[in-house]
Amino acid sequence: MKVRGSVSVVKALEDEGVRYTFGIPGSHNIELYDALEDSKQIQAILVTDEQCASFMADAVSRTSSSIGVVNTVPGAGVTHALSGIAEAYMDNIPLLVLTCGIRNDTGKSYQLHDIDQLAILKPVCKEVFHVVSPEDIYHVIRNAIHIANSRTPGPVAVEIPMNHYLHTCNIPGFEYNKPPYVPSSPTSEDLYRAAEMLNEAKRPAIYAGNGAKHTPFLLYELAEKLCAPVVTTIQGKGVFPESHELFLWNGFGKSAPPFVQRIMDRCDCLLAIGCRFGEVATASYGINPPENMIHVDINPEVHNANYHARLPIVSDSGSFLRALAPLTERHDKNPFLITEISTGHKKVIQQWESQKSKKGVSPWHFFSTLQKYTAEDTIYTTDSGNGTFLSMEMLRLEKPGLMIGPIDYSCMGYSVPAAIGAKMCNPDRDVIALTGDGALLMTGMELLTASNMNVAPVVFVLRDRNLSQISQLQKFTYSRSTCTILPDYSTRAFANAVNSKYFYISSDAYVEKTIPQALQAANDGRPVVVEVAIDYAFKTWFTKGVLKTNFLRLPWSERVRMTMRASKRRISKGQFWV
């Protein structure tokens, strides 16, 4: 059978169920775009910037059963997309990076876009492949997607020289024998030891990450059987239903409210599953797990990397939980614990309710009202900074995958393009972007892509005219801000420029009225931009915890020096507290 290499690419993507590719065509890959135009299954999306392409593809992978595909030209296309690829790599999101290579059939040097792009991509991809022969294209792409989705997920890059798209070659057919999935199962010895530790524990607890997202019901059953309170990572938000009486918080240690700290300090056996104890998840390593810890993860490299586990187990969460279930004994329900959790949550909400803004919009009033008017399956996309931590703390989600954000790479500009990608895959669901005003300046132009395609996420711009997360850190540490005050701009004019509808929430008085209006307006098929004059005067639990952890980690001499410096600056400004 004679086919062009570009046709082999499209056939491989179609057979893997790909629905979208994201990128900007160039002279090197126009043959591929011509082949994509003939596909009845795949839509090639033109973006304004390849960084947005990688964020949009990332959101496709996070919110649908299809893998996201970034389709780039050589050189600049790859380097522009690199931030989003690195985000997917750090957050364990499967991605296919389909990049064109320069011609390798001319014998000429110094070609356009000629760099070693696979060397650039290798540190932020699970694997990288260079297609040597056009006959290999179909198999390499199918295999790359399999690798991206298997075990610990992540991006995989495939470089196809430009001439392979153009040339027709003989191939035997489109065949791919997908390797069978072999679950990583725990040993019998590990299972019995884990069951023994949990059965003997008086106050067990569970710490669940995004690696447990495919087995939420098994996690739910185990928590109830053990009467074990559950904390999750930020990425793991929703893996355990957050309306459940045993749900504690997203995180623990110094970044959590006092009631969470008290309960977790009493824990005598912790089951950590599908997590790796990263810096963001642990709020700068501000947690203190018990010595009696079971750590279950499919990736053996994460075991004992940051915290020692008495029992490290290499297994996927499903295999472990299914095998563990019949070995665990039912613990008596603890009414005191249930009451303590319930009372703790009520006190936190009362504290939030008391934090009324005098100059803008109170975060709790905004987030609680937003969730009041959105459906249970609404997808929220967040950005690097306060928006993520407010969403983590104030939203209550019942399923995994409903809040997606840039966590471990923490790349600004994620939320708007991610919301567009998520809305493409989920047209019948509300998709809400919670972006900062600084992040909007980085990738907000992508709303032009959304309006052109009649894709309508609702973008809430949490605007305080600062890079607030860093500004808060500066004010605490230095008693001044440097390079964190944004230049002023008109959000209304910006919305008009990208063909989006515009609303403004200036104070709490307008929250209840404007949010449902904005959600309704999105039904017309145009993106909606809502400017929210958010008041960040009260720090999140997460921010306070990170500040405390890092400050107390300093030597005494440095703490004194920094405190004295900040105090002198406050006094000189006539301030007693910032």
Q: What is the CATH number of the domain that holds 290?
A: 3.40.50.1220
Distance CA 353, CA 370 (A): 15
Dump the DSSP string for 259-314: HHHHHHHT-SEEEEES----TTTTTTT-----SSEEEEES-GGGTTSSS--SEEEE
* One domain for residues 152 and 42: yes
What pLDDT does residue 149 have?
A: 96
Domain assignment present for 347 = no
Q: CATH number of the domain that 100 lies in?
A: 3.40.50.970
Domain assignment present for 570 = no
Give the strand pairing for 458-462 and 127-130.
unpaired
Domain assignment present for 578 = no
What pLDDT does residue 573 have?
A: 65
Instruction: Provide the H-helix boundaries in 68-161.
Output: 76-90, 117-121, 137-149
Domain assignment present for 72 = yes
- Domain range for 142 is 2-170
Q: Are 359 and 217 in contact (CB under 8 A)?
A: no
Instruction: Provide the H-helix boundaries in 360-490.
Output: 363-373, 386-394, 415-425, 437-443, 447-452, 468-478
* One domain for residues 363 and 325: no
Dump the DSSP string for 179-236: PPP---PPPHHHHHHHHHHHHH-SSEEEEE-GGGTT-HHHHHHHHHHHT--EEE-STT
* One domain for residues 412 and 536: yes
What pLDDT, in 10s, does the model give residues 316-332?
A: 999 999 999 999 999 99
What pLDDT does residue 551 have?
A: 86
**Rg of the Cα atoms in the chain:** 25
Token duo for residue 235: 């990425």
* One domain for residues 479 and 533: yes
* One domain for residues 336 and 359: no
* One domain for residues 41 and 107: yes
* One domain for residues 444 and 336: no
Domain assignment present for 558 = no
**Residue 390 CA, distance from chain mean position:** 14
Q: Consecutive sets of 10 residues in the chain, 578 residues long: mean pLDDT of each?
A: 91 97 94 96 97 98 97 96 98 97 80 89 98 94 97 96 87 83 89 98 98 94 98 97 98 97 98 97 96 97 97 96 96 97 98 94 98 97 94 97 96 97 97 96 97 97 87 77 88 98 98 98 96 94 92 86 79 56
**Residue 452 CA, distance from chain mean position:** 26
Domain count, the chain: 3
Q: Are 446 and 48 in contact (CB under 8 A)?
A: yes
What pLDDT, in 10s, does the model give residues 350-388?
A: 999 999 998 999 999 999 999 999 999 999 999 998 999
* One domain for residues 380 and 505: yes
Q: What is the pTM of this model?
A: 0.95
* One domain for residues 333 and 370: no
* One domain for residues 77 and 136: yes
* One domain for residues 361 and 501: yes
Token duo for residue 37: 């135009």
Domain assignment present for 31 = yes
* One domain for residues 50 and 133: yes
